[in-house]
Amino acid sequence: MLPRPTKFSLFAGDAEGPVELNAFDAALLKAGIANVNLLKISSILPPGAEYCERLEIPEGSLVPAAFGTIVSGEPGDRIAAAVAIGRSKNGHGVIMEFAGRATKEEAASQVKQMVEHALRLRGVPLDEVMVKSVDHVVERIGCAFAAVALWY
């Protein structure tokens, strides 16, 4: 059985690149989570997980993360990505992510509403919301990326 992560952090970054994958990689670098292998997860925050401003993760580690990302090659396009966590005092929580054509404020509002809805569906009172968002106006090929990474 895999251990349950005990820590989490929110990341967001935006960047340009000569091709889509380089734009994505540059956004990860700017967000501060580039030198690990992200494993896409669904949207449950482990009970009791502790927020850490910065996670100390060894390079090359397999890191569970819920993330939203968008890449565009349309100059002038405004793209955004956002993540939010919502949890109750008992620690149960959800993670929601968004990526699309929007401002960072619109993206943040969207994920906050998604968190509220998800906890309401579960009958869990919402006591805390944390949001991180970013937007980017594309010059050539741009990327916006936001994630909640879990760690041990």
Residues identified as active-site:
37, 42-43, 97
CB atoms under 10 Å from CB of 96, counted, come to 24
Angstrom distance (rounded) from CA 14 to CA 143: 5
Strand order in the sheet with 142-151: 37-40, 62-72, 142-151, 7-16, 50-51
**Would you state the structure tokens that stand for residue 31, as one six-digit string?**
């967000």
CB 141 within 8 A of CB 9: no
